[in-house]
Structure 1
Amino acid sequence: MADNRFGDYLKTALSGEFDILLQKKLDIPALTTINKKPDAIIIDENVDGTCGDELCLRIKTEETIAAIPVILLIEYNDNKSYISHAASKADRLEPRTTDIYRLRTDIRMLINSYLFLAKRTNRMLANTTHMLPEAMEKDEDNLIFINKVRELLENNLSTEGYTIDMLCSTMGMSRTVFYHKIKEVTGRPPVEYMLTFKMERAKMLLKSGRHSIAEIADMLGYCDAKYFGRKFKDYYHICPTGYLKKIEQAPAVNS
């Protein structure tokens, strides 16, 4: 992190769920030699005169840590800024002003995907050693693929009528190829995966208590709160209002 105050804020805000190691300057040797490598890395847009894109590239070209998900913080949340960071090889771009709940969720999703693929690689190590190089390359390709899908879904979360065809087009894949790829990686067809992505985000937004149901419907690209409510109830078997009441009635837990 370049900004000490912002770095300290992130460390405080995220430490309830994650163990945080804060570096004022990227120290790759330290990341490659510690007993437990990080499950995710957050890079500021500019650190000690070096742009975040270059730092991301350094991480991704270091073989021992290249598979670790990297989040690059960017100053502006607009299409031009996103395009300018396309060559950074970061797994996710996040505005520096992003909601901490969103950042926490995105980190957790990236880590879960990373750990899932790491477990698959370990199983292959034990059972199919002769296939190791191909298997590892395939798993890394899968991680890159699903992170790109999640990034596109995130960027178009509020776009009403965002379709699988639009997603396939941006991914540069035919609908058939995309269907088989996402089914292979996630075990779910595209429509189901997209719905799950939205519903998980809906649950998180409701739990935060910072938005009305109508606002959340708009944030998730639904035409109105009533339609969003039906989709939420179909998925979770409880309406958004009922879910909010359930949260309010839940006993407080001391941590």
Structure 2
Amino acid sequence: MEKRGGDLAIEHIPDIIISDVMMPIKNGVDLCNELKNDKRTSHIPIILLTAKVGDNNKLEGLKTGADDYIIKPFKKELLKVRVEKLIDNRKKLQARYSQEVILYPKDVAIASIDEQFLMNLQAVLDENLVESSFNIDVLCKEVGMSRMQLHRKLKALTGHSASEFIRSQRLRLASELLKKPGVNISQVGYSVGFNDHAYFSKCFKKMYHCTPTEYQKKIAKNNFD
């Protein structure tokens, strides 16, 4: 038995979906509504194609959360430009969240279900990030997703894989703690979930291009200046 498009989307979590409105079994509008209301797939940009002309039809599609709506017939170049624009917007979103310690949405427009996902994710991080035993399996269980689904969603929203995301959040928290005067560097590493000080220093240097000691000295110098 062939799998439906919605099932395939949940299974593979594609980067973007292009769907015709008129399809057998389930039309494109219903498919879009289904995927945009599922936290596993809500972040996926969706373009709907239709031969129907009229503002009401376009409004119906956009109300479901479709990211774009193209009337047939259309030129391939138009579809290509629309796809590139959606991917570019996704990259801007990744850049925004890749720099944040706190994931609460501020000035970036995202779907409400993705906003709720990020808020739930932040709550999980607040409670578990400092535990050295906190890992991908724990995160998957807490947010109710498979490893692959969580990996794809985090990659789309933040540009990081699940393991990279956890590590980067620990390091960003460490960078905030190191800004406090007189803080012990070794203790900072342990307090954000790193059991190995050498590994903490290595990861920190890879991300910030300086050791924790050098970072702390820079902060102290800037504060003094």
Question: What SS class does the counterpart of residue 178 from structure 2 fall into?
Answer: helix
- The aligned length equals 126
Report deviation, 1:251: 5.8
CA contact (8 A) 1:157 1:219 kept: no
| Residue equivalent to 2:106 | 114
Report deviation, 1:216: 0.8
Query: Looking at both structures, which has the greater relative contact order when contacts are Cα pairs under 8 Å and sequence separation is at least 6?
Result: 2
CA contact (8 A) 1:198 1:220 kept: yes
Q: Which runs of 5+ in 1 are unaligned?
A: 1-106, 121-138
CA contact (8 A) 1:233 1:240 kept: yes
Give the aligned residue type for 2:218.
K
Percent identity, aligned pairs only, is 29
Q: Which runs of 5+ in 2 are unaligned?
A: 1-99
Give the aligned residue type for 1:114.
K
| Residue equivalent to 1:236 | 208
Report deviation, 1:192: 2.0
For residues 1-255 of structure 1, what are the structure 2 equivalents within 5 Å?
Answer: 109-110=102-103, 113-117=105-109, 120=110, 139-209=111-181, 211-250=183-222, 252=224
TM-score w.r.t. the length of structure 2 is 0.50
Aligned equivalents of 2:215 and 2:140: distance in 1?
Answer: 33
Superposition RMSD in Å:
2.3
Give the aligned residue type for 2:124.
L
Give the aligned residue type for 1:219.
S
Q: Which has the larger radius of gyration?
A: 2
Aligned equivalents of 2:209 and 2:101: distance in 1?
Answer: 25
CA contact (8 A) 2:102 2:122 kept: no
- Runs of 4+ more than 4 Å apart: none
Aligned equivalents of 1:163 and 1:204: distance in 2?
Answer: 21
